């Protein structure tokens, strides 16, 4: 079981814990035996990946862009990877796991791409940021990332802005709409 999040986790610790939680969801997806269960776990994966991506796009990538000599290049690469996964997640949301073979195909692509993305961040980006930033800034960014995840959208929005300042304004507003939609959907079930 993934280590629980703490209110004093710095940015990198917060994001690594997210990675472990998503990997656990991937394992739950892989061991699910029914299409309904796969669909339920896929919805959890989508929500967690969207929330995580929003936090990275709001706080991780801007600081990487500023703090690292090749930060602009790294940031644009990571955001492009997010955009592709978000497009796939939007497609997964539209598909019926019991009737559409593309559902499983897309989920396998998402899991492969996310695992690659996580490996790149944890092997390269995170250690470099630990060296470039002081503990106080990383702690402050961890707090901001937790807040971003609480207000983030819960569904993929591939056409939404993924760079500041537009994502800082529109992300929380979209999150409000998504959470209202989620409550309405649950009430109808």
Cis ω for the linkage preceding 104 (within 30 of 0): no
pLDDT > 50? residue 49? yes
pLDDT confidence band for 122 (50 / 70 / 90): very high
- For every residue of 114-162, DSSP letters joined together read HHHHHHHIIIIIHHHHHHHS-HHHHHHHHHHHHHHHHHS-SS--TTS--
Say whether pLDDT at 173 is over 60: no
Residue 189 has pLDDT above 70, yes or no: no
Provide the whole-model pTM.
Answer: 0.85
Domains of the chain: 11-188 (1.20.120)
Residue 38 has pLDDT above 50, yes or no: yes
The secondary element (H helix, E strand) that includes residue 71 is: helix 71-94
């Amino acid at each position: 079981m993934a280590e629980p999040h703490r209110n004093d986790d710095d940015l990198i610790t917060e994001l690594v814990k997210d990675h472990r939680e998503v990997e656990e969801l991937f394992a739950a997806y892989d061991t699910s035996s029914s299409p309904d269960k796969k669909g339920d776990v896929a919805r959890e994966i989508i929500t967690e990946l969207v929330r995580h991506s929003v936090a990275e796009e709001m706080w991780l990538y801007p600081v990487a862009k500023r703090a690292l000599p090749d930060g602009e290049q790294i940031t644009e690469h990571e955001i492009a990877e997010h955009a592709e996964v978000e497009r796939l997640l939007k497609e997964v949301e539209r598909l019926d796991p019991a009737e559409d073979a593309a559902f499983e195909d897309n989920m396998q692509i998402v899991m492969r791409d996310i695992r690659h993305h996580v490996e790149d961040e944890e092997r390269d980006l995170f250690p470099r940021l630990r060296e470039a930033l002081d503990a106080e800034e990383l702690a402050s960014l961890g707090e901001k990332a937790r807040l971003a995840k609480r207000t983030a959208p819960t569904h993929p929005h591939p056409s939404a802005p993924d760079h500041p300042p537009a994502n800082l304004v529109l992300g929380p507003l979209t999150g409000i709409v998504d959470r209202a939609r989620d409550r309405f959907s649950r009430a109808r079930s």
